[in-house]
Structures are given as C-alpha cells and as structure tokens.
Amino acid sequence: MTTGTTAGASRPSETDVAAGRAQPPGGDVAVRVENLWKVFGRNPEKILKSDLRNLPKTELLARTGNVVGLRNVSFEVKSGELFVLMGLSGSGKSTLIRTLIRLIDPTAGTLRVDGEDVLAMEHAELLNFRRNSISMVFQNYGLFPHYTVLQNAAYGLKLRGDDQKEREESARTALKTVGLAGWEDYYPSSLSGGMQQRVGLARALATDPDILLMDEPFSGLDPLIRRELQDEFIDLQDQLGKTIVFVTHDLHEALKLGDRIAIMRDGEIVQVAEPEEILSNPHDDYVRAFTQDASPASVFTATTVMDEPSLLLYRWQGPRVAHTELMHHKSDWAFMVDKKHRYLGICTEDIVGGLIRKNAKAIESDDLIRPEPVSPDVLIEDLYGLVSTESYPVPVVDGEERLLGVIRARKILEALHNPDDEEEDPDA
C-alpha cells in the first residue's frame, strides 16, 4: 500500500464497472448463507418456531424481550468478490458478519464457506477454520496494546503454530504490504488511527486467508485518511483478489468499493445488487432513501467551510510595503487582490524578497503563485483532492473573480468532524 499509486490509477475503468463487473470475478461460490436467523434473548428456538418471529421488532421486544438480529438472511459471495453489507446501525450487518466466523452463533440456517458447513464445525475445527481460512478486521482495530506492531501482525500465525522465524517473516511482509515497514517495534498506542488500522489489516493478511471479513474498518477514521485507505485498499484488492465481506454504513464507501451491495434493514436483506443498479433501480423506498442519504461531504459547499483570509495584500502595494506587511503579520505569504477585490494570486516572502533585490517598484500578476480558485458552491467532497495536495489554502471566488474567502484543510476536517477519532500524525 505504500507504493504510492495515485488514487484509482489501477482501478478498473468506468466501463469495466458498467460492463465487466456485472459478473463478479471468479464465479465459484465462496460463501453461501441460507435462511440464517439470529434471535437474541431467552428461548430463541421457541420464538423461531412460533409465529412470533414475524412480529415487528419493537412489538416482539415488548412482548417477549427477544430481539431478532437476523431475519431469514440468504446470500452468496463469489470467490474474489468484494461483497458489501450496508445498513444503518441496528440493521444487523455487524451481527451478520460475526456469524460468518461464528463469533455469534446463529439460531438457525446454514452457512457454507468454500463448501464447508461452518455451523456444523466442532470447536477444534472452528479454531482451525479461523486460523487458516478466514480473518477479520475490526472497526476499533482490536489490536493488542501489549504487543508490538510486529507481534500484533504475527498473532494469527502464532496461534497457527508457525515457528517464530517463519511468522516474523510473514508478518514483516504483511506490514510492508500495508505500508508499515519500519514500524515493527512500535506499540500500537504510538500509532495514529489510520496506521493502527493498517496493523489490523496486516494481521488479517498475514495468515493469507481465503476470506477477509471487514467490519466498518475505515469508519473511525477522519475523511482524508479514510479516503486514502480506501484507495490503497482498492489497489491491494486488485493485487490479492481476496473474497471480502465488507460492512459499512456509508453509501459512498459501499459504492466505491463494492462489487455487489446488500442493503440491510431490521435484520433483513432488502436488496442485493451491483452499485449501478442500487442507484438506478432501488428495490423500495427504504433503499431509495438510503441512496439519497448523502454524506456531509456531498451536501456542504465551499461556503460552509470558507474563512476570511487573515492577511490581504493589494495590487498597488509595492514589494517593500508587502514585505513590511508580511513581517508585521509574521506570515510567509498572503493572498493578493486588485482594486475590485479580484483574486490575483499568492504573494510569498520569497517573491517579495526577489523583487526587492531586483529593485522592482511594483508586483506584477505574473510574479505571483496562482492556485486554481474554486466557486463557492463546489461540494466539499470535490475539495479533498485540492486541499490535500496544496500547501496553501484554496481561494474561493465568485463569478467576477472576486475573492470571497479561503478554505483551509483543517477546516474541512472540522466540518466533517468525527468525534470518535482525532487523527494525529506520529511523524510530527
């Protein structure tokens, strides 16, 4: 993942998405789930046998105290497919992904992974299955705080009984794959959230499982990091071609990553379809509402995150005035506008210094650095690319090129603020 491939470069092109991926790669069924039920509470079998099971969630809870976590769920995941389970919290998606590895035992139904009946497995077989065939990445990373990054990544191998040298080698390779070479001897607590999740991913990949379960792996991360990890993950999946079941509550993530998407509500799967079809042909109002549910990034515009520039320079000010102004405000640079407040560019200390040395009397537009301005109604999600690559804030201008304000990268993060997780750069 460190290879630094530009986002989406090795992704299948748009036409692939439309045409090719209608038939998921491979074609063999890797995971087959049929009529899976999970009833929480007392006497789940009794509930299941009676008509009570058809009651709506709230009514059942009031009458018996039971909760139906999964309601007659059936689906198939093809080998090499990235299958997304999407739904709001409480829709059963986390319960479902946990039943696939039997962290939760379903009440009824069948579950086959690579043809093997997982629900019939004895304890020892189940441990074997978890150690060799399947692994999981968790929303809260689930790392072991008392283990180093290397020991964390090697944990699955340790349980499998690989000898120390062998498992350290595999773990190092896995860490390298996720871009964490050099971090082997650190403890997870000294890593940022994004890096911790890379450790989680390395730990899952180290055992080279056939199937990867990912339970909202990127949800706790802030938007920029999340996007970065998604992009790298796509590249990685292109290379590895694992069968993946991926849980998310974020439609954009589902659309971006999924070969097929299953939308869940109240423990049921409402629709399973490819991303295109989910959007073009939603099964019912619930799915439609879901597809219209937009994240803040696709609703908020530049105006909402725009700031006043802290210092403005004016066209008619000469290099010496500009220099004094910059010095006075302890700034290395400032936006420059003309008499009509039209955006000209960014004037830096270096530019001013150069002009003073040349004894120039005025600053010309050509002397300035000119980052591309955006209009006030551009969506925040379209700004991600700009703010992450530019070292200067992005200028916002109106139809007549007048400078309205500037957007700082920080501000975008704050607007999409995720209270769970503050990203910190450990290099800093």
Partner 1 sequence: MREFPEWLRIPLADAVDVAMDWVLANLGGLFDWIGSVGLQVLIAVERVLIFVPWFVVVIVVGVAAWRLAGTWKFGVQMGLMLLAVGLLGYWAEAMTTLSVVIVSVAISIGIGIPTGILMAWYNPVKRFITPILDAMQTMPSFVYLIPALMLFGLGRVPATFATLIYAIPPVIRLTDVGIRGVPENTIEAAKAFGANRWNLLFDVQLPLARPSILVGVNQTTMMALAMVVIGSMIGNRGLGMEVLLSINRVDIGKGFEAGLAIVFLAIVIDRITNRFAAVNRETAAPASNDEGSVSQSA
Token readout for 133 is 């065939």
- Strand, coil or helix: 54: helix
Nearer to partner 1, 138 or 314 (CB): 138
- Strand, coil or helix: 47: helix
- Strand, coil or helix: 411: helix
Q: Which of 6, 15, 89, 189 binds partner 1 (CB under 8 A)?
A: 189
The one segment of 181-189, 221-229, 266-274, 347-355 that binds partner 1 by CB under 8 A: 181-189
- Strand, coil or helix: 112: strand
CA distance linking residue 216 with residue 201, whole number of Å: 12
Nearer to partner 1, 129 or 290 (CB): 129
> What is the closest distance, in whole angstroms, from the C-beta atom of residue 148 to partner 1 in the complex?
10
What's the gap between Cα 12 and its chain centre?
A: 19
CA distance linking residue 62 with residue 156, whole number of Å: 42
Q: Of residues 296-355, which lie at the interface with partner 1 (CB under 8 A)? A: none
Q: Which of 63, 146, 370, 417 binds partner 1 (CB under 8 A)?
A: 146
Nearer to partner 1, 84 or 214 (CB): 214
Site for partner 1 contains 143 (CB under 8 A): yes
> What is the closest distance, in whole angstroms, from the C-beta atom of residue 212 to partner 1 in the complex?
11
Q: Which of 107, 135, 170, 317 binds partner 1 (CB under 8 A)?
A: 135
Taking residues 42 to 71 in sequence order and writing x for each that binds partner 1 by CB under 8 A, - otherwise, the string is: ------------------------------
381 contact partners, CB below 8 Å, separation of at least 6: 252, 295, 297, 298
Q: Other CB atoms closer than 10 Å to residue 19's CB: what's the count?
A: 11
CA distance linking residue 58 with residue 74, whole number of Å: 23
> What is the closest distance, in whole angstroms, from the C-beta atom of residue 159 to partner 1 in the complex?
5
Site for partner 1 contains 138 (CB under 8 A): yes
CA distance linking residue 322 with residue 314, whole number of Å: 8
Site for partner 1 contains 160 (CB under 8 A): yes
Nearer to partner 1, 153 or 326 (CB): 153
H or E stretch at 245 = strand 243-248
CA distance linking residue 21 with residue 423, whole number of Å: 34
> What is the closest distance, in whole angstroms, from the C-beta atom of residue 70 to partner 1 in the complex?
18
Taking residues 407 to 426 in sequence order and writing x for each that binds partner 1 by CB under 8 A, - otherwise, the string is: -----------------x-x
Q: Are 402 and 343 in contact (CB under 8 A)?
A: yes
Nearer to partner 1, 136 or 263 (CB): 136
Site for partner 1 contains 142 (CB under 8 A): yes
Count the residues of the shown chain that bind partner 1, applying the rule CB under 8 A: 33
Q: Which of 39, 77, 86, 136 binds partner 1 (CB under 8 A)?
A: 136
Taking residues 87 to 126 in sequence order and writing x for each that binds partner 1 by CB under 8 A, - otherwise, the string is: --------------x-x-------------------x---
Q: For residue 359, is it left (φ>0), alpha (ψ between -120 and 50) or beta?
A: left
Q: Of residues 17-36, which lie at the interface with partner 1 (CB under 8 A)? A: none
The one segment of 79-87, 184-192, 235-243, 285-293 that binds partner 1 by CB under 8 A: 184-192
Site for partner 1 contains 127 (CB under 8 A): yes
**334: which strand partners?**
347
Q: Of residues 199-218, which lie at the interface with partner 1 (CB under 8 A)? A: 203, 207, 213
CA distance linking residue 134 with residue 317, whole number of Å: 66
CA distance linking residue 291 with residue 383, whole number of Å: 22
Residue type, 218: F
Sheet holding 312-314, edge to edge: 312-314, 333-337, 343-348
Q: Are 26 and 80 in contact (CB under 8 A)?
A: yes
Site for partner 1 contains 145 (CB under 8 A): yes
Nearer to partner 1, 137 or 337 (CB): 137
Q: Which of 75, 144, 286, 314 binds partner 1 (CB under 8 A)?
A: 144
How far lies 367's CA from each of 81, 86, 309, 317, 395, in Å?
Answer: 53, 51, 20, 14, 18
Site for partner 1 contains 159 (CB under 8 A): yes
CA distance linking residue 48 with residue 77, whole number of Å: 26
Nearer to partner 1, 27 or 426 (CB): 426
How far lies 230's CA from each of 65, 215, 419, in Å?
Answer: 39, 14, 20
Q: Which of 2, 58, 74, 190 binds partner 1 (CB under 8 A)?
A: 190
Q: Which residues bind to partner 1, rule: CB under 8 A?
A: 101, 103, 123, 127-132, 135-136, 138, 140-146, 155-156, 158-160, 186-187, 189-190, 203, 207, 213, 424, 426
